[in-house]
Amino acid sequence: MLNLRSSCRKRKKQTNVGETMEGSCDDKNCLSIISRFRETTATDAQKLTDGVRLKNSDVILPWIGYGTYKLGKEIARDCTLEALQQGYRAIDTAFIYGGETTERQVGLAIQDAIDMGILETREDLCIITKHWRKYHGYEPALECLRLSLTRLNLDYVDLWLMHWPGPAWKTMNRRKDEMAKHGEWHYAVHPQDELPDIRAETWRAMEDAYKSGKVRAIGVCNFTIQHLERLKGTATIWPPAVNQIECHPIFPQTELVKYCTKEGIVVQAYSSLGGQDVGKKYWRMLYPLKKGQKVKTDAVTSLLTAPPVLQVAEQVNRTPAQVLLRWALEKSMVLVPKTSNKGRMVENAKALEFSLSEEQVAWLDNQFQKSLKRAAETEGVKIESLSRLCWKNDPLRDLDFE
């Protein structure tokens, strides 16, 4: 296992979990760990080691980290190593990524980076991984963490997230016709009405993992206000440090973000650049070709080529990706853009170098809401069904449950 943290962590754990832990330890080694990252606001952040301090924890989570979804087994190690080489210090991975292969590749990349002198120690990093929904419940959740740590070859992670509020499925091979016949809960392991209790048990395991020092902070992903309110009723550690959610100008999740801010939950946005799950067909629906426009040259094919983003990019003389990342930073969201391209890693980090005005942010929001409204009317569907870009083929995405 890589570099154990100093023993001061155990002493720090004796403090009340509701209090901020800064300054609660006089161990010099510990303070040097903390000082590797600098606490700033999103607007003041300049470097990839500048971040936000998480609740109930001494973790400073960098404003921009590196996402590893869909990197694939062959390139995950090299890409993660390249990201570390380019200065990224927060790596976002998950138990399930790459069909359960990515964590191992990330672990190898960390070891490579230490061997090559890119990192001095493991403490230079902020490693995020996620519990998988197949492992809901107290014992299964701890087993999931044990597997993640083994795969990552680490003795702790900096942030452990519950990937989904539930439910667990019996199988990955779900059939739409079967679900139509037997109902959308057909493949769920637990009955719908037991879900809040099972989730509470998963959280209790996460709290215990936190208390044992195996994770430095705990949080959730894809939680709605309803899920968070339910959890609040049973949690002994509240709030979750982070809610990692899909967020971009097409799906700004304004009410949820407001709620998280009020509760002290850091919002970590994913798919900030439009994600990897929707294709050209979706964009053609949102931006139909106008008379005289050509598919080859004029069609919108991604969020990065959407006209409002291009227009603001031109105004501020930045790239579309930088505009989208900056949009989120202006709303104080933490980011984990994914790219397998070295030049884009550098480009994305430069979102820290400029700002957007309030008017530009509001204008982007407005433009996309207008396009969504128009597309929803044309398609005869609700706006909500068009605004999510991620998890497109997962029927769980549209399940409404407590």
Ligand X SMILES: NC(=O)c1ccc[n+]([C@@H]2O[C@H](COP(=O)([O-])OP(=O)(O)OC[C@H]3O[C@@H](n4cnc5c(N)ncnc54)[C@H](OP(=O)(O)O)[C@@H]3O)[C@@H](O)[C@H]2O)c1
The reply to whether 90 sits near ligand X by the rule CB under 6 A is no
Residue closer to ligand X, measured from CB, 67 or 252: 67
| 96 and 221 Cβ atoms separated by less than 8 Å | no
Stretch in the footprint of ligand X (CB under 6 A) among 224-232, 270-278, 357-365, 394-402? 270-278
Least Å distance between CB 160 and ligand X? Answer: 12
Q: In a 10 Å sphere around its CB, with 0-12 CB exposed, 13-18 middle and 19+ buried, how is residue 11 labelled? A: middle
Q: Quick check: is 270 catalytic?
A: no
Residue 348 in contact with ligand X, rule: CB under 6 A: yes
Residue 200, strand partner residues: none
Q: Which residue, 3 or 340, is less far from ligand X as judged by CB?
A: 340
Rounded Cα–Cα distance for residues 161 and 328 (Å)? 20
- Which residues contact residue 148 at a Cβ distance below 8 angstroms, ignoring those fewer than 6 apart? 95, 103, 129, 131, 157, 160
**Candidate list 39, 78, 330, 347; residue touching ligand X; CB under 6 A:** 347
Given the residues 66, 69, 88, 97, the one annotated as active site: 97
Residues 95 and 132 sit within 8 Å (Cβ to Cβ)? yes
Q: How far is CA 360 from the centre of its chain?
A: 24
Among 62, 166, 196, 275, binds ligand X (CB under 6 A): 275
Gap between the Cα atoms of 2 and 85, Å rounded: 19
The CB-nearest residue to ligand X is 67
Compute the C-alpha angle 145/150/156, nearest 5°: 60
C-alpha span between 56 and 368 (Å, rounded): 36
> How far is 147 from 142, CA to CA, in rounded Å?
9
Site for ligand X, residues 207 to 266, rule: CB under 6 A: 221-222, 244
Q: Which of residues 116-135 bind ligand X (CB under 6 A)?
A: none
Q: Quick one: 49 or 268, whose CB is closer to ligand X?
A: 268
Transcribe 163-225 into DSSP letters: S-SS--BS-S---HHHHHHH-TTTTBSS-GGGHHHHHHHHHHHHHHHHHHTSBS-EEEES--H
The residue among 33 and 63 lying less far from ligand X, judged by its C-beta, is 63
The residue (of 72 and 213) whose beta carbon lies closer to ligand X is 72
Number of residues that bind ligand X (CB under 6 A): 27
The binding track of 58-87 with respect to ligand X, each residue x by CB under 6 A or -, is ---------xxx------------------
- Choose between 9 and 272: whose C-beta lies nearer to ligand X: 272
Task: Restricting to residues 286-345, name those near ligand X by CB under 6 A.
Answer: 304, 321, 336-341, 344
Question: How near is the Cβ of 24 to ligand X at its closest, in Å?
Answer: 30
One-letter amino acid at 402 equals E
Candidate residues 135, 160, 270, 282; the one interacting with ligand X per rule CB under 6 A = 270
> Which amino acids are annotated catalytic?
97
Task: List residues binding ligand X (CB under 6 A).
Answer: 67-69, 92, 163, 221-222, 244, 270-276, 304, 321, 336-341, 344, 347-348, 390
